[in-house]
Structure formats: structure tokens, C-alpha cells
Amino acid sequence: MLTLVTGATGQVGRRFVPRLLAQTRQGMGVPPLERSREWGRVRVLVRDEARGEPFAELGAEVVLGDLRDEAALGKAASGADAVVNVAASFRGVPDEEAWAVNRDAAVALGKAAVACGVRRFVQVSTGLVYGAGRGRPMTEDDEIRPGGEMWGAYPESKAAAERELLALDDMDVRVARLPFVYGEGDPHLANSLRWATSWASNQRLHMGHHADVAQGLLRVLHAPGVAGRVYNIADDAPVTAVELHLLNGVEIPTDMHTRTDPDPWFGIMSTERIRRELGYRPLYPTVWAARDAGVL
């Protein structure tokens, strides 16, 4: 079986692809009914040949091309059995680019996959599509209503891609919604202070270690009989603004305790579905566990 991965050179993709390549028939995240199949072949779509070399050295097939080039999408999807669309454009990019990559290119990839006979498509999305909190952890059955100035067009473009991809005929599409991802040298944890310095002390960020994001994506990819399903992937304990400062070794702002969190449940997701249906359990249930294991 051949799996095409886009966004392989990004923070999530560069850590997911080696795990996908390393997976064996008895590997992490493969349900028993799927273990008789070989999911070890991997193809990556990259724009830069040099950045594709590390994947080639690990055994991946490398296809050069831009996600926004429909001809390249057809070439990349040809002969593939599954697609994992990790590619995304966010945090500081113009809204036009966010829409072009996150919605337009994702949908074009989905249509190219259908045309090439791809059987399974995993769309990697974000918990930010939920928008405002509901007074509890958000579930996959909640209405998505993205918005807010902080992330620009990123949540809306991702939500639009989900809707259009799930509406495609003749292909098994499933969606994985990610939290704030960190670990293994990813600068995201340090970058969190861009926002956390202005938060209330108890304002929370739901996170997930790269190892757990990868195992969650593998479970979503391999699970039989879950066409059209959406799954939240995250750890067990969102961290507060105070904890983000402590983790980064930065002094806590003296006035932080005087601020008010406008939405205590914003971005907080339930992982009950992926636990119950796919057997997901975080390897690092908290960022503190990841710190103690030396994998930040």
C-alpha cells in the first residue's frame, strides 16, 4: 500500500513521515484487521528537492511539486492508496495564502485523489474550527463556527476544507483535528509566549506532543469502517499561561493574576471518541510528563 503525505517538511509532517515509514504490520496504531496489509510505502510531495532528501534516505518516494499546482497533485496522487494531507499555511500569512493552501489546494488534492482512485483520505485540521467555547470540552459533534482575529483566516479556511472534502463522493474521507502541537525541538512551545504573556493566569492552551499527534494520525489513517468520521487528537491536561511561562523558564508577568479569561473553554477538546473508537492513549498525557522524559 502506498500513502501520499503532503506537508512533509513542516513541523508536524517531518515528524510524522518517519513514524509512518517505520511502521510495520504490527506497528503502532494499526488495528488487528488491518495488520495483514502492508502500509509501509510512503510518497511525499515537496517543493524543494534538497528538503526531500532526508525522506528519500529513509525510504520514501519523493515527488517534486507545489500543492497549488493541479498537475503536480495528479502526479503525486497517481497510484496512491491513501493520502494524508498535513500541509497548512497559518500564523502570520496573508489571508489569501491561507485560503489558497488550506482550502483550495486541499480540495483540489481531494479531487485529484478521487480521479486517481485513491481509497482513503485523511484531512489534518485544527481544533480552532470550533471557535468559541461551549462551557465544556468540545466534541466532534459540535457545530464548527470558526472566527476571531488571532489566527486570521486559518480556522475558517480549514473548516471550509473539511466541509468540501467530506462532501466528496467515491472516497473514504476522515478528519483529524489537532491541538497546539509541541515537542522534539519544535519551537512552538517557545512561540506560545507570543500570546501567553497577555493572557490571564488561568487561561489554558490544549496541547499534544508530536509523538501523540503521529500515533493519532496513524490510528485515523488505518482504522477500518470510519469513513466520514472526525477525531480530536490532544493530550489529557491543557496548560495554563502560568505553566507556559514556567516551562519556558520565563518570569511570570506581575499583573497576570489581575486579568480575566474571556472564554475558559476556548480550544479545549474532548478526546473521548478517539479513545473509545480507535484506542488512542497519549504517550505523554501532559506536557510535564514530556518534560520529565526529556522530549520537549
How many structural domains is the chain composed of?
A: 1
Residue 196 covered by a domain = no
Domain-embedded: residue 57: yes
For residue 219, the enclosing domain spans 2-182+208-234+270-283
Distance CA 39, CA 30 (A): 9
Burial class for 66, CB neighbours closer than 10 Å (0-12, 13-18, 19+): middle
**Does 226 fall in a domain?**
yes
Q: Is residue 48 part of a domain?
A: yes
The three three-digit cell numbers of residue 40, written as one number? 509501509
Q: What's the CATH number where 163 sits?
A: 3.40.50.720
Give pTM, 2 decimals: 0.93
One pLDDT digit (tens) per residue for the chain, 296 residues? 999 999 999 999 999 999 999 984 344 445 544 443 455 699 999 999 999 999 999 999 999 999 999 999 999 999 999 999 999 998 778 899 999 999 999 999 999 999 999 999 999 999 999 999 999 999 999 999 987 666 679 999 999 999 999 999 999 999 999 999 999 999 999 999 999 999 999 999 999 999 999 999 999 999 999 999 999 999 999 999 999 999 999 999 999 999 999 999 999 999 999 999 999 999 999 999 999 999 99
Show contacts of 55-63: CB within 8 Å, 24+ apart: 55/8, 55/17, 55/21, 58/17, 58/18, 58/21, 59/21, 60/8, 60/17, 60/21, 61/2
180-182/207-209 β-pairing? parallel
C-alpha radius of gyration, the chain, whole number: 19
Residue pair 85/123 in contact by the 8 Å Cβ criterion? yes
Q: Is residue 251 in some structural domain?
A: no
All three cell numbers of 78, joined, read: 497517481
DSSP state of 135: S
Q: Which helix (H) or strand (E) holds 124?
A: strand 120-126
In a domain, 58, yes or no: yes
Within a domain: 135: yes
